[in-house]
Chains A and B, each alone.
Chain A
């Protein structure tokens, strides 16, 4: 078996999810190579080469890939995939956008968002917002897979010295062009990797009230998330959304504030080690999955929590 893992990165550092995806690759077993697609991304290539479980790093470092457009990247990944038994990416919007395009070019099905490796051809994955687990087996020569990061241990980051191979830039497809992108926000831990997450829902009432979460989050070193209702209402940006169609998190501690606990929200956080719910409705479904709960008005409870910390 030879496995090709597509690195997620911002041209400076490798995203932590890639180390979990490498963990899934290690479970499948065999030689593991990493493909880095980027522009002026030599630090990423170097970092990939330092990962002990990696055999070889393929790096297509070119102007064209400075912007991650699937239209331009997919044909190159297709070409690189020849001879590999598996092509893996993370369940990030980057890989979710790119890998199905690669799978179609290779004329193979994709197995999305795997939560377990049974053997090299057989995988477990959540379906129906995680309300069922399907075990699927592939009979194709190349298996294209995205990996749910929270379900796999990260591999060691340094200590290795893999061989690096430069790949020529392909021709531009000239189908799409990046117009603009919101800057990643600085400060505070990242939602999907934070040890503690505090999320607010419709009960927060408005965006200003999220400061009640921010102050507690700062004391706990937590990231702030939200339900879809809170994002739809414009309280916070879309990248805060936790759930079936947002981000999947599994922190040590998840605090849900003014969130009812719809299955689509639970889909994104029910693997958290400990769940705390703060809600004024004692019958809110969130209390069925919470370890601790406070039935009360969040506008009383949150300032008190801040004071108690």
Chain B
């Protein structure tokens, strides 16, 4: 079984982001970029399935700028076998990304597509569900554990009420939650080896997909910052006094 795994290049989660002064976008110049943390978990989970002998090949896919090659190389260093870049400058939207993955999944004959449950830039949480709809496949979203048995995959999902386990017919789409796997650190030899692994570039056009955003971005602003810093109180009794005074507690 071939696994396609999606990796998005985003601003590193430790960076304090800034909106451009004209409100047109988030500043991406000279900002540290990284693999979307949820995608990194998805890569780890895909590579584990290969190591367990369940998958035969792991193909990392990114839709993004030429620089997303770095992100793909990271996936290759973690153990993906080859990579595909679908070059696109500017914003990507989940629906067109899902269409791109659909075309690639069909072209590759993938049995499983694994994505992060959300990207930490746009926080959309849509792509996996959309892809599953377009392919007519079942979806195991917000996954915290996986087990493939025969023609089915059992997925434990993190839901509002706790955990839910579903059995999906393969082929299927999985979206990873953070607790699915702990991503490995790529060793130096693995990083060197990754440089020689194949990385193809396939245009969206050749896949019949239009990546032009459909939603109009009117503006992006930073939210008002909360307050002045806290008033320190000496002890619990004083805190209770304050909270009663402010009517926060009875």
Q: Which A residues form the contact surface with B (CB < 8 A)?
A: 69-71, 74, 92-94, 96-105, 107-113, 122, 126-140, 173-185, 192, 196, 220, 228, 231-232, 237-239, 244-245, 247, 252-253, 263-264, 270, 273-277, 287-296, 301-302, 304-305, 307-309
Interface contacts beyond A128-B123, A184-B162, A292-B232: sample of 14 additional A-B pairs, CB < 8 Å, sorted by A: A71-B138, A108-B214, A109-B93, A128-B11, A178-B165, A179-B166, A264-B13, A288-B229, A289-B226, A291-B227, A292-B239, A294-B239, A301-B235, A304-B235
When the two chains form their complex, are residues A109 and B160 in contact, meaning their CB atoms are under 8 A apart? Answer: no
Number of A-B contacts (CB under 8 A): 254
When the two chains form their complex, are residues A180 and B165 in contact, meaning their CB atoms are under 8 A apart? Answer: yes
Chain A residues whose CB sits within 8 angstroms of the CB of B134 once the complex forms: 104
Chain B residues whose CB sits within 8 angstroms of the CB of A99 once the complex forms: 129
Chain B residues whose CB sits within 8 angstroms of the CB of A113 once the complex forms: 123, 125
Shortest Cβ gap from A48 to chain B (Å): 20
Measured between alpha carbons, how far is A71 from B222 in the docked complex, in Å? 37
Instruction: Provide a sorted-by-A list of 9 A–B residue pairs whose CB atoms are within 8 angstroms.
Output: A101-B133, A104-B98, A135-B219, A138-B216, A181-B164, A182-B164, A238-B144, A247-B160, A263-B16
Q: How many residues on the B side are at the interface (Cβ–Cβ under 8 A)?
A: 80
Measured between alpha carbons, how far is A69 from B166 in the docked complex, in Å? 9
Shortest Cβ gap from B110 to chain A (Å): 16
Shortest Cβ gap from A66 to chain B (Å): 14
> Is B187 at the interface (CB under 8 A from chain A)?
no
Chain B residues whose CB sits within 8 angstroms of the CB of A101 once the complex forms: 129-130, 132-133, 139
Smallest CB gap from B99: residue in A: A104
Name which of B122, B130, B157, B160 has the most chain A CB atoms within 10 A of its CB.
B160
> Is B202 at the interface (CB under 8 A from chain A)?
no
Q: Which of A140, A175, A184 contacts B169 (CB 8 A)?
A: A175
When the two chains form their complex, are residues A291 and B230 in contact, meaning their CB atoms are under 8 A apart? Answer: yes
Measured between alpha carbons, how far is A104 from B134 in the docked complex, in Å? 7
When the two chains form their complex, are residues B227 and A289 in contact, meaning their CB atoms are under 8 A apart? Answer: yes
When the two chains form their complex, are residues A136 and B120 in contact, meaning their CB atoms are under 8 A apart? Answer: no
> Is B95 at the interface (CB under 8 A from chain A)?
yes
Measured between alpha carbons, how far is A294 from B236 in the docked complex, in Å? 8
Q: Which of B93, B123, B132, B136 contacts A127 (CB 8 A)?
A: B123
